[in-house]
Amino acid sequence: MSERDVEVYFMTQIHKGETLITNGDVEAGVEHLINAILVCGQPSKLLQLLQSTLPMDIFTTMLIKMHAYEASQRCLPVLVDDEATSSL
């Protein structure tokens, strides 16, 4: 994926997230904002911006979903080469 593709994806996810939240679909909107955060070059700055612009309950929902996503990523099984384990 080129830098331009990532930029377009980022902007699309932000726009979709904002639109969905504005239209009352907070769950789907938050998912799109999280997608944008995941590809953002400076996620902490984006989080600060979102914290200052989103209602606190929506921002909190987003943080909870992000935490759940990160926890699920840590629990994914790691594929190990059979040769690497045969010497154990």
Residue 85 in domain: no
Residue 44 in domain: yes
Residue numbers of the domain that contains 42: 3-73
Residue 14 in domain: yes
Could you tell me the pTM of the whole model?
0.80
Number of domains in the chain: 1
pLDDT of res. 78? 57
Between the alpha carbon of residue 18 and those of residues 3, 32, 58, 84, the distances in Å are: 23, 9, 11, 47
Residue 80 in domain: no
Quick: pLDDT tens for 55-81: 999 999 999 999 888 888 777 665 555
Residue 64 in domain: yes
Residue 33 in domain: yes
- Mean per-residue pLDDT over the chain, rounded: 88
Of residues 21 and 70, more confidently modeled = 21
CATH number assigned to the domain comprising residue 7? 1.20.960.10
Residue 28 in domain: yes
Q: Measure the CA–CA gap between 74 and 36, rounded to whole angstroms.
A: 20
pLDDT of res. 82? 52
Q: Measure the CA–CA gap between 35 and 66, rounded to whole angstroms.
A: 10
Residue 43 in domain: yes
pLDDT of res. 74? 76
